[in-house]
């Protein structure tokens, strides 16, 4: 299976599958490693998986992945998952927050979500998710899967991506809260200038926004969507404490 080949799981590491469903990927994983940890929200599917694979080879957590502390599992994790559209962004954000526990991941998204993850500055899909995920991981598009590859068939094309954890210095833990605040402010109104968006988020208003932009050498007449990640990192480095 191409997804398992892309993950390249090793026998001596913790392999975590998010949303295994009926176990197609689980079966392929267990052909390569002695044990898999899986998180499945659906009670009936969890029961099916437990019966099919048994507890010796499958450590099954019947839970919402967003409620699971990934750092409580045996790190580093090799993660694989097919993420439905409605949870794709929250789970991606969780993987960013808990990246210290993750070595790499192979994740399937609706193609539109993958486009957002890999978007370039200046394109409509570029935004906070692009910046945060791109600083926390090195993400690459592997291949697309047409609806006919699934049963039942979805109405959308899926894209498989590989995430390799970046160096800690690329997104220091202490910088993450102010960076999230900067991105939230900068993209609050996509068609407005950076200066206008920042002044609405800072207690000192326009004066403080202009000082911040001058200190970082960033043109406030630009829109956030044209700035590279390094500009947001610079703004976050000087963002006032709450």
Q: Is residue 242 part of a domain?
A: no
Tell me the pLDDT tens digit for each residue of 29-38.
999 999 999 9
Domain of residue 27: give its range.
2-170
Q: Is residue 48 located within the same domain as residue 72?
A: yes
Tell me the pLDDT tens digit for each residue of 173-219.
999 999 999 999 999 999 999 999 999 999 999 999 999 999 999 99
Question: Residues with Cβ < 8 Å from 58, sequence gap 6 or more?
Answer: 26, 30, 35, 36, 37, 38, 49, 50
Reference 135, options 169, 160, 106, 108; nearest CA is 169
59 by Cβ neighbours in 10 Å (0-12 / 13-18 / 19+) ranks as: middle
The answer to whether residue 94 scores a pLDDT higher than 80 is yes
Which CATH number fits the domain that encloses residue 185?
Answer: 1.10.8.100
Q: Is residue 52 part of a domain?
A: yes
The answer to whether residue 107 scores a pLDDT higher than 90 is yes
Q: Is residue 124 part of a domain?
A: yes
With bands split at pLDDT 50, 70 and 90, how would you rate the model's confidence at 44? very high
């Amino acid at each position: 299976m191409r997804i398992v080949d892309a993950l390249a799981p090793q026998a001596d590491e913790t392999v975590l599958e998010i949303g295994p469903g009926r176990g197609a990927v689980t079966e392929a994983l267990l052909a390569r490693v002695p044990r898999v940890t899986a998180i499945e929200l659906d009670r009936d599917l969890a029961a099916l998986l437990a019966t099919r694979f048994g507890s010796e080879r499958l450590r099954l957590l019947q839970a919402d992945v967003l409620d699971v502390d990934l750092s409580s599992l045996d790190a580093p994790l090799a993660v694989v998952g097919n993420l439905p559209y409605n949870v794709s962004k929250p789970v991606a954000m969780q993987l960013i927050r808990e990246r210290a526990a993750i070595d790499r991941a192979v994740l399937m998204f609706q193609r539109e979500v993958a486009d957002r993850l890999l978007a370039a500055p200046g394109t409509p899909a570029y935004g906070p998710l692009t910046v945060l995920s791109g600083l926390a991981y090195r993400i690459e598009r592997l291949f697309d899967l047409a609806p006919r590859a699934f049963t039942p068939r979805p109405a959308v094309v899926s894209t498989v991506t590989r995430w390799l954890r970046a160096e800690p210095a690329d997104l220091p833990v202490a910088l993450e809260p102010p960076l999230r605040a900067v991105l939230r402010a900068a993209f609050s109104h996509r068609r407005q200038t950076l200066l206008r968006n920042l002044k609405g988020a800072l207690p000192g208003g326009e004066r403080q926004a202009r000082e911040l932009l001058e200190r970082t050498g960033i043109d406030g007449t630009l829109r956030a969507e044209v700035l590279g990640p390094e500009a947001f990192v610079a703004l976050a480095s000087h963002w006032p404490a709450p």
